[in-house]
């Protein structure tokens, strides 16, 4: 089983935006931003780093309540969307089109987050470098919040599904065939999208560490896990598909 490379190749495509917009609603972003603010435990005015900000749906909401947000994304299209979103809301966010790994050791942020499956699409060394960089950007005592998929719950869900899962929106179909590769510790999704009669296929590989692995990965970068829950503070159990970690920089 080969790992993905260290080159980021899991950009959000036009198809992703099409199929996501039905469940990535404004209400959901409002709820997630509120949840994140609670987890960060910081006062407005704090400097916060959004690693892999995407279209800025979370960053603009934090900025709107007074946080000093820097949003970083390797995908130029996403940064353009984020800029448009901030302009439409009349909020100011510092957007940076770059890889999180190239942030440098600023150490000035009061808090940071990797929200909504942003971490894990690279090979192990590169994924590790993302955590190193996020950690290095934090002042001592600052929180890092990570929102990802929970390995145990995902494996259970795949077993229960026992086959491909299709989503049909406006007559267009996205079909995911998922498995968990125990050797590489990755969720492997074979995704076929059929739009306007044209089928495209791609494979996504997302590293899903166990909770114990997460603690060790983060500790290597001077981050101590303080809490591990599911969405909205729900207790984590074997069926939870979402894992939300709060770690603190030593
Ligand atoms: C699944 S999207 C989530 C976006 C956003 N955090 C949200 O909650 O909507 C992941 C984003 O992370 C970005 N990303 C992933 N790895 C990155 C890296 N190493 N440096 C910068 N951006 C990265 C991708 O380009 C993508 O826009």
Is residue 4 scored above 80 in pLDDT? no
Q: Cα(54) to centroid of ligand 1, in Å?
A: 5
- Token readout for 142 is 């600052």
Is residue 9 scored above 70 in pLDDT? no
pLDDT band at 8 (very low <50, low <70, confident <90, very high): low
The burial of 241, by beta-carbon neighbours within 10 Å (0-12 exposed, 13-18 middle, 19 or more buried), is given as middle
Among 2, 1, 214, 7, which Cα is nearest to 122's? 7
Phi-psi region of 123 (alpha: psi -120 to 50; beta: other; left: phi over 0): beta
Give me the mean pLDDT over the 29-54 stretch: 98
Fold observed for domain 14-150+210-249: Rossmann fold (3.40.50)
User: To test ligand 1's pocket by mutation, which of 11, 33, 59, 74 has the most ligand atoms within 8 angstroms of CB?
Assistant: 74
Strand order in the sheet with 143-149: 94-97, 68-73, 47-51, 111-114, 143-149, 242-249, 223-229
Is residue 120 scored above 70 in pLDDT? yes
Q: Cα(53) to centroid of ligand 1, in Å?
A: 5
Give me the mean pLDDT over the 44-65 stretch: 97
* Predicted local distance difference test score (pLDDT) of residue 2: 55
Q: Cα(73) to centroid of ligand 1, in Å?
A: 6
Q: Which residues line ligand 1 (CB under 6 A)?
A: 8, 11-12, 52-54, 57-58, 72-75, 78, 99-101, 115-118, 130
Alpha carbons 5 and 46: distance in angstroms, whole number: 35
Among 77, 202, 55, 186, which Cα is nearest to 121's? 186
Alpha carbons 137 and 133: distance in angstroms, whole number: 6
């Amino acid at each position: 089983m080969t790992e993905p490379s260290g080159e980021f190749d899991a950009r959000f495509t036009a198809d992703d935006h099409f199929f996501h917009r039905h469940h990535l609603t404004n209400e959901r972003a409002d709820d997630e931003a509120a949840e994140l603010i609670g987890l960060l435990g910081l006062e407005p005015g704090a400097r916060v780093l959004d690693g892999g900000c995407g279209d800025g749906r979370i960053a603009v909401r934090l900025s709107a309540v007074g946080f000093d947000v820097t949003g970083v994304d390797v995908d130029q299209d996403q940064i353009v969307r984020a800029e448009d979103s901030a302009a439409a809301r009349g909020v100011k966010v510092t957007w940076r089109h770059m890889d999180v790994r190239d942030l440098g050791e600023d150490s000035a942020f009061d808090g940071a987050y990797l929200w909504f499956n942003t971490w894990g699409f690279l090979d192990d060394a590169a994924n590790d470098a993302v955590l190193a960089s996020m950690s290095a950007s934090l002042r001592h005592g600052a929180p890092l919040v990570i929102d990802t998929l929970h390995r145990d719950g995902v494996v259970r869900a795949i077993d229960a599904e026992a086959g491909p899962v299709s989503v049909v929106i406006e007559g267009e179909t996205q079909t995911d065939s998922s498995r968990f590769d125990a050797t590489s510790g990755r969720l492997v999704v074979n995704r076929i999208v059929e739009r306007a009669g044209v089928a495209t296929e791609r494979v996504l590989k997302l590293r899903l560490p166990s909770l114990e692995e997460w603690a060790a990965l983060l500790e290597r970068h001077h981050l101590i896990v303080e809490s591990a829950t599911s969405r909205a503070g729900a207790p984590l159990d074997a069926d939870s598909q979402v894992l939300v970690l709060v770690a603190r920089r030593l």
